C-alpha cells in the first residue's frame, strides 16, 4: 500500500512551511501562462500606481475534513492613480531574494479572464492564497 | 473548471526543503495497528520493542528535481537489527515522526509493509530508504 500522510502530520507540515521564511505575493503584467518550469525571470512584475508586493500574513494551518489548509488573509492590491496603467495577468507567491539574487516561485496563477486592467485610482485586485495539503491520489 | 494554479518545480523543491530537509523526521517501526488511514495518530501506534531496536534519525539531503518535475528527498538508509536478545516482534510498518528539536508528537507518514516482518533473532533486520516526493496533483 502507499504511505499515508496523516491529517495532523499535514497540519504540522503546513505550519512548518509558513514558519520557515517570509513569502511575498506579487502580481505580474506580462501575457504569460505559468507552468511547472516557470521562474521569476519569466514574469514582469506589476508597477501600477500604488502597487507593492505583499508580505503574506498566514493563519495557522487548520484541518477541514481530511484536508489541511494554510490560508493567507485576502489581500487587496489597490491603485492610487492611473499614471502607469497595467494589464494584470496573474499572481505569484514567491520566496525572498535567493542566492542568485532572484526569487523562487512557490505558486503562480493566471487569472481566469485575464487581463485585468488597472488604470485609475481605486481600481483593485483581491487575492486570497490557500495551500491545501492532502494525500497524493 | 480546472484551476490554472501552478506549483512550479522550483517551488516544490523549496517546499520539500522546508518540510523535510529543515526538520529531518524520525523513523520508527510499529507492531500495531494493522490498518492505518489519514486519521491515524502517533498514539495509535505501538512502537517496536524487539531487542536492539532504537528509533532512527537519518539525514535528509536537500531536495532535487526527480526528473519528472516533482521534488524529491531520499533519506539515508535506516537499518533496524535484532541483537539476539530475548524480545521479538512482528513488525507491521514504518512511520515518520516530526522532529521538533527532539522526537516529536505528530505522526507525519505511516506505511504498512505488504506483510508483517519478523524481528526475532540475531540476523533479522529491516533496512529501508524513504523517498519523500512533493508534486502537483490534480485540483478540483
Overall residue count recorded for chain B in this entry: 140
* Strand ranges, E, within B23-134: 26-32, 46-47, 64-65, 71-74, 78-81, 89-99, 103-119, 125-128, 131-134
Smallest Cα distance from A56 to chain B, Å: 16
Confidence at B21, pLDDT banded by 50, 70, 90: confident
Confidence at B26, pLDDT banded by 50, 70, 90: very high
Strands A90-94 and A124-127: unpaired
For residue B39, the tally of other CB atoms under 10 A from its CB is 12
Task: Return the pLDDT at B28.
Answer: 97
pLDDT digits (tens, 9 = 90+) for A53-99: 999 999 999 999 989 999 998 999 999 999 999 999 999 999 876 44
Which residues of chain A lie closer than 8 angstroms to B98, CB-CB?
Answer: 9, 12
Residue A20, pLDDT > 50, answer yes
Distance of alpha carbon A66 from its chain centroid, rounded? 23
**Alpha carbon separation from B70 to A14, B13, B42, B63, B111 (Å, rounded):** 18, 8, 28, 10, 21
Task: Return the pLDDT at A28.
Answer: 96
pLDDT digits (tens, 9 = 90+) for B28-77: 999 999 999 999 999 999 999 999 999 999 989 999 998 888 899 999 99
Is A134 an interface residue toward B (CB < 8 Å)? yes
- ipTM score: 0.83
In this structure, is the dihedral angle defined by the CA atoms of residues A116, A98, A134 and B106, taken in order, positive or negative?
negative
Q: Does B109 contact A112 at a Cβ distance shorter than 8 Å?
A: no
**Alpha carbon separation from B76 to A5, B24, B130 (Å, rounded):** 20, 11, 8
Could you tell me which residues come within 8 angstroms of residue B128 by beta carbon, excluding any fewer than 6 positions away?
B27, B77, B78, B94
Closest CA to B118 of B94, B83, B92, B84: B92
pLDDT digits (tens, 9 = 90+) for B92-135: 999 999 998 999 999 999 999 999 999 999 999 999 999 888 87
Residue B138, pLDDT > 60, answer no
Residue A16 belongs to what H/E stretch? helix A7-20
Which residues of chain A lie closer than 8 angstroms to B30, CB-CB?
Answer: none
Contact A56, A23 (CB under 8 A): yes
Domain boundaries, chain A: 7-133
**Residue A36: which of B3, B18, B69 has the nearest Cβ?**
B69
**Cβ within 8 Å of B, A 77-106:** 90, 93, 95, 104-106
Report field, pTM of the whole predicted structure over 0.90: no
List alpha helices for chain B, DSSP H: 9-16
Strands A124-127 and A67-71: unpaired
Could you tell me which residues come within 8 angstroms of residue A128 by beta carbon, excluding any fewer than 6 positions away?
A71, A72, A73, A74, A75
**Residue A5: which of B6, B104, B109 has the nearest Cβ?**
B109
**Residue A105: which of B8, B39, B108 has the nearest Cβ?**
B8
Cα distance between residue A110 and residue A117, in whole Å: 14
**Residue B6: which of A4, A7, A108 has the nearest Cβ?**
A108
Cis peptide bond upstream of A115, omega within 30: yes
Task: Return the pLDDT at A73.
Answer: 86
Could you tell me which residues come within 8 angstroms of residue A113 by beta carbon, excluding any fewer than 6 positions away?
none
Is B15 an interface residue toward A (CB < 8 Å)? yes
Q: Is A132 helix (H, G, I), strand (E, B) or coil?
A: strand
Task: Return the pLDDT at B134.
Answer: 83
Amino acid at each position: 500500500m502507499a504511505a499515508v500522510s496523516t491529517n495532523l502530520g499535514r497540519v504540522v507540515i503546513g505550519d512548518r512551511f509558513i514558519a520557515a521564511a517570509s513569502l511575498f505575493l506579487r502580481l505580474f503584467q506580462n501575457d504569460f501562462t505559468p507552468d511547472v518550469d516557470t521562474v521569476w525571470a519569466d514574469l514582469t512584475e506589476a508597477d501600477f500606481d500604488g502597487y507593492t508586493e505583499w508580505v503574506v500574513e498566514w493563519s495557522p494551518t487548520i484541518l477541514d475534513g481530511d484536508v489541511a489548509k494554510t490560508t493567507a488573509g485576502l489581500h487587496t492590491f489597490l491603485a492610487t492613480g492611473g499614471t502607469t496603467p497595467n494589464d494584470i495577468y496573474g499572481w505569484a507567491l514567491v520566496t525572498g531574494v535567493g542566492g542568485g539574487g532572484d526569487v523562487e516561485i512557490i505558486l503562480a496563477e493566471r487569472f481566469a479572464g485575464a487581463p485585468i486592467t488597472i488604470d485609475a485610482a481605486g481600481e483593485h485586485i483581491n487575492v486570497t492564497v490557500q495551500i491545501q495539503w492532502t494525500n497524493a491520489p | 473548471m480546472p484551476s490554472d494554479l501552478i506549483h512550479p518545480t522550483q517551488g516544490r523543491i523549496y517546499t520539500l526543503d522546508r518540510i523535510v530537509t529543515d526538520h529531518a523526521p524520525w523513523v520508527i517501526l510499529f507492531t500495531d495497528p494493522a490498518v492505518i488511514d489519514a486519521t491515524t495518530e502517533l498514539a495509535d501506534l505501538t512502537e517496536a520493542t524487539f531487542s536492539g531496536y532504537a528509533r532512527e534519525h537519518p539525514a535528509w539531503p536537500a531536495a532535487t528535481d526527480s526528473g519528472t518535475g516533482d521534488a524529491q528527498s531520499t533519506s539515508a538508509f535506516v537499518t533496524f537489527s535484532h541483537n539476539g536478545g530475548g524480545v521479538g516482534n512482528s513488525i507491521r510498518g514504518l512511520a515518520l515522526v516530526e522532529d521538533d528539536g527532539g522526537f516529536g508528537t505528530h505522526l507525519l507518514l505511516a506505511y504498512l509493509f505488504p506483510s508483517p516482518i519478523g524481528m526475532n533473532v540475531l540476523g533479522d533486520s529491516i533496512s529501508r530508504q524513504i523517498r519523500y516526493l512533493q508534486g502537483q496533483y490534480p485540483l478540483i
